[in-house]
Amino acid sequence: MDFAPVIDGFGVVLQPENLLYCLIGVTVGMLIGVLPGLGPAATVAILLPITLTVEPVTAIIMLAGIFYGAQYGGTITSVLLRLPGEASSVVTVFDGYAMARQGRAGAALGIAAIGSFVGGTLAIIGLTFFAPLVASFALDFGPPEYTILAILGILLVASVGSGTLVKALIAAAIGLLLATIGRDGFTGSERFTFDVLQLSDGIDFVPIAMGVFGLGEILYNLEDRHNNTKAPTKVTKVLPSRAELKQSSGAIGRGSVIGFFLGILPGGGAVLSSLAAYAYEKKRSKNPERFGQGAIEGVAAPESANNAAATSSFIPLLTLGIPANATIAVIYGALLIQGVTPGPQLVEDNPDIFWGVVNSMYIGNVFLLIMSIPLIGIFVKILQVRAAILAPITVLITLIGAYTIANSVFDIFLVCLFGAIGYLMKKVGLEPGPLVLAFVLGVLLETALRRSLILFGGDPTGFIGRPISGTLVAILVAVIAFPLIAKLWKSKSKTKEKELV
Amino acid sequence: MTPDHAETTQAEPESVEELVAQWEDEKPPAAGPVTNIATGALVALLGVAGVIGSRSLGLGSASQPGPGTWPLVISVGLILLGLLLVVRARTAGFGEKFSVDSWRVASGLASMIAFTLLIGNIGFEIPAALLAFFWLKVLGNEGWRSSLIGAVLMPVVFYLIFVTGLSTNIPHLF
């Protein structure tokens, strides 16, 4: 492996502008992690217009910072308020809040910050070695491989969402249909434009993401759900003791490894990995009854895991061009808008972007460690800012930002429309994540599918005939079959139990 | 946590199980299977419309896919998934009931549309002030004083950022 571009990447990061945007990104990430309401996907979506004014690498450094910064911030509310700021910090509540009640809030936050730092940094090192490997492997991928890979990505993200599979697939299918609007890339004929001039080039990704994720979430929050917020506990000393550090070092290591590998899988991501890391620690503990009563490993493991996962989820994006989760899908969209297509060629063609973004994560994690240990008091204070004051600010940023994408009022209307759609989807239980992800992959999927069909002369069995796409098809079948088998097995064992009774 | 902080109406949960149960209780009431049936039917209808649209685009064939091939595949998928949701309406997981608070969402959305309609004609400052005031006073239950201060401050700050600072082309009056 050639290390010269890796070193050059640090040169990119250390440019003052990039350092500044990295700092802005992680600070915003930390803030939205602390404030319940907007998640990282919504925030990244809302800030998309700002990224259009800067260099691609600078933009992605900032957006990535928001994503992994939110993993740090989400911990604070979990520990102090028993309110997970982010979905990936839900398990941290169990032991983190118990520790806070025992007066050990500082230690809980400290170990979470250290674990996050270690998990994040280990994952960046893993990313550095692993990503170019995957990319070189994927260089041979043709349209058939990409067809299956895109379907696999959408399916995995849909199957681990919080809703049911049918609903997630519906959301994904709507996303795919929306992606077909506009001029057909093969024949040039207009599809579903209804003679609206603004639709002939298709719907832009930015208004969809800003509307469905951003405004949709803001509107959803207007119905009071966070009504019982309390004043947070005072946090004084944010450093775990030597004994606590020793006790949790194993958990941090194991959490980082679990997080790294689950993060690579599309759909795995930060949420699943924090759950898995917590469950694993509880299982291997000699006295699992301590978990939920303030076991420090119960904070260390999931917090290390969610950061490692947030970092490693960049691997499928940067090497295959397949986003692994909703936030990464928005970052993928940001790259496309900048004229950069993420995929196996990225390492070779744009080493400055690839290594600039990867290496910026080291710096970002150092920033975050400083913010979460010596500066933690400031972020705890921010918890007292009322949601009522933040809401109009985010609305105005979104609406004005929507205008600046293309200086068009039509785009603001689109954002409002998709905001309403995003809200309604949440109300009827359709997750917006699969829709945006499928929309982003829609054009790639259709192009790859049509090229494959032409290649195979219309014979779909051609997908099985090629070694790599055949393997991917096998994985695809396994992913579809596994939940069905698990369900059958479960109902069988249930009837057995009944027989025994 | 000191006692004076524990002002919640509910008791402090003592275990993970209680905490999870409490989260379940705090969840807004779930929408029923009727919502699922309606959603499924709507999705299936969207699929039917998609099929009709795809046919008029030209379906092509498997070896020579036309502009309508892929939309047709998705539309058929939508019909099947929509029908599946109707059939499994009782088990497919529920969304949330529309509550008395839903008017807040409708009025919030209306304020944004009003903002959009006005911005092209009179610039962003006055619509932004009105929107901020509405969201602070009516939707946010803030007091008169802080609402008025916010309604004046926010457009000023946004002006400084977007017009003076970033020099974007956002329509402005001043």
Rounded distance, CA A159 to CA A163, Å?
9
CB pairs under 8 A between A and B: 210
Percent of residues, chain A, with pLDDT higher than 90: 29
pLDDT value at residue A493: 66
pLDDT value at residue A234: 65
Q: Model's pTM, two decimal places?
A: 0.86
- Per-residue H/E/C for A102-170: CCCHHHHHHHHHHHHHHHHHHHHHHHHHHHHHHHHHHCCCCHHHHHHHHHHHHHHHHHCCCCCHHHHHH
**A17-21, A108-112, B32-36, B123-127, range with the lowest pLDDT:** B32-36
pLDDT tens string A413-468: 999 999 999 999 988 888 888 899 899 889 889 989 888 888 888 788 888 888 88
Question: What are the structure tokens assigned to A26, written together?
Answer: 């992680």
Using a CB-CB cut-off of 8 Å, the residues of chain A touching B99 are 223
Mean of pLDDT values over B32-53: 90
Quick check: B147 contacting A, CB < 8 Å? no
pLDDT value at residue A497: 58
Nearest to A166 among B15, B85, B162 (CB): B85
Quick check: A385 contacting B, CB < 8 Å? no
| pLDDT of B148 above 90 | yes
Quick check: B148 contacting A, CB < 8 Å? no
Tell me how far apart the terminal alpha carbons of chain B are, to the nearest angstrom. 51
pLDDT value at residue A495: 62
Judged by CB atoms closer than 8 Å, whether chains meet at B135 and A395 is answered as: yes
pLDDT value at residue A64: 94
pLDDT tens string A121-157: 999 999 999 988 888 888 888 889 889 988 888 888 8
Nearest to A395 among B120, B131, B141 (CB): B131
**A14-23, A419-428, B11-20, range with the lowest pLDDT:** B11-20
Quick check: A463 contacting B, CB < 8 Å? no
pLDDT value at residue A477: 86
Q: Chain A closest CA to B85's CA: distance in Å?
A: 7
Residue A345 burial class via C-beta count within 10 angstroms: exposed 0-12, middle 13-18, buried 19 and up: middle
Nearest to A292 among B8, B15, B75 (CB): B15
**A136-145, A220-229, B5-14, range with the lowest pLDDT:** B5-14
| pLDDT of B6 above 50 | no
| In contact, A203 and A74? CB cutoff 8 Å | no
| pLDDT of B143 above 50 | yes
pLDDT top residue among A201 and B138: B138
Mean of pLDDT values over A162-173: 85
Residue B172 burial class via C-beta count within 10 angstroms: exposed 0-12, middle 13-18, buried 19 and up: middle
Using a CB-CB cut-off of 8 Å, the residues of chain A touching B70 are 180, 446, 449-450
| In contact, A235 and A109? CB cutoff 8 Å | yes
User: Residue B166, SS3?
Assistant: coil
Q: Chain B closest CA to A12's CA: distance in Å?
A: 24
pLDDT band at B165 (very low <50, low <70, confident <90, very high): confident
pLDDT band at B4 (very low <50, low <70, confident <90, very high): very low
Percent of residues, chain B, with pLDDT higher than 70: 91
**B34-48, B91-105, B158-172, range with the lowest pLDDT:** B91-105
Mean of pLDDT values over A335-352: 87
Percent of residues, chain A, with pLDDT higher than 70: 93
Mean of pLDDT values over A261-279: 84
Q: Chain A closest CA to B168's CA: distance in Å?
A: 7
| pLDDT of A486 above 60 | yes
Q: Chain B closest CA to A88's CA: distance in Å?
A: 16
Main-chain phi, psi angles of A350, to 5 degrees = -125, 60
Work out the angle at residue B5's Cα, subtended by the Cα atoms of residues B4 and B11, and round it to the nearest 5 degrees: 95
| pLDDT of B13 above 80 | no
| pLDDT of A106 above 70 | yes
Closest Cα partner for A73 from A42, A40, A106, A120?
A40
pLDDT band at B174 (very low <50, low <70, confident <90, very high): confident
pLDDT band at A412 (very low <50, low <70, confident <90, very high): very high
Closest Cα partner for B118 from B171, B169, B161, B156?
B171
- Phi/psi region, residue B105 (left: phi>0; alpha: psi -120 to 50; beta: rest), is alpha
Quick check: B36 contacting A, CB < 8 Å? yes
- Identify the closest residue of chain B to A293 by CA–CA distance: B15
pLDDT value at residue A230: 58
**A6-15, A421-430, B14-23, range with the lowest pLDDT:** B14-23
pLDDT band at B116 (very low <50, low <70, confident <90, very high): very high
- Identify the closest residue of chain B to A84 by CA–CA distance: B23
| pLDDT of B7 above 70 | no
Mutate to test the interface with A, among B25, B105, B158, B159 (most CBs of A within 10 A): B105
Using a CB-CB cut-off of 8 Å, the residues of chain B touching A212 are none
Judged by CB atoms closer than 8 Å, whether chains meet at A170 and B141 is answered as: no
Using a CB-CB cut-off of 8 Å, the residues of chain B touching A384 are none
Q: Chain B closest CA to A323's CA: distance in Å?
A: 21
Mean of pLDDT values over B87-95: 80
User: How does the average pLDDT of chain A come out, rounded?
Assistant: 86
Using a CB-CB cut-off of 8 Å, the residues of chain A touching B84 are 166
pLDDT band at A498 (very low <50, low <70, confident <90, very high): low
| pLDDT of B146 above 60 | yes
Rounded distance, CA A114 to CA A97, Å?
18
| In contact, B65 and A450? CB cutoff 8 Å | yes
Question: What are the structure tokens assigned to A196, written together?
Answer: 């609206």
Main-chain phi, psi angles of B5, to 5 degrees = -85, -25
pLDDT top residue among A211 and A33: A211
pLDDT top residue among A335 and A189: A335
Main-chain phi, psi angles of A429, to 5 degrees = 90, 20
What type of residue is A147? T
Using a CB-CB cut-off of 8 Å, the residues of chain A touching B113 are 413, 416
| pLDDT of B68 above 60 | yes
Using a CB-CB cut-off of 8 Å, the residues of chain B touching A169 are 77, 81
| CB atoms near residue A237 (< 10 Å) | 12
Q: Chain A closest CA to B135's CA: distance in Å?
A: 6
Quick check: B100 contacting A, CB < 8 Å? no
pLDDT band at B172 (very low <50, low <70, confident <90, very high): confident
pLDDT band at B2 (very low <50, low <70, confident <90, very high): very low
Mutate to test the interface with A, among B1, B43, B88 (most CBs of A within 10 A): B1
pLDDT top residue among A89 and A353: A353
Q: Chain B closest CA to A429's CA: distance in Å?
A: 4
Judged by CB atoms closer than 8 Å, whether chains meet at B7 and A186 is answered as: no
Rounded distance, CA B140 to CA B150, Å?
12
pLDDT value at residue B9: 42
Mean of pLDDT values over A157-170: 79
Mutate to test the interface with B, among A236, A400, A421, A444 (most CBs of B within 10 A): A400
Quick check: A406 contacting B, CB < 8 Å? no
Nearest to A399 among B8, B26, B112 (CB): B112
**A105-109, A156-160, A214-218, A341-345, range with the lowest pLDDT:** A156-160
| pLDDT of A360 above 70 | yes
pLDDT band at B163 (very low <50, low <70, confident <90, very high): confident
User: How does the average pLDDT of chain B come out, rounded?
Assistant: 83
Nearest to A396 among B5, B43, B128 (CB): B128
Main-chain phi, psi angles of A373, to 5 degrees = -110, -70
User: Residue A302, SS3?
Assistant: helix
Q: Chain A closest CA to B129's CA: distance in Å?
A: 10
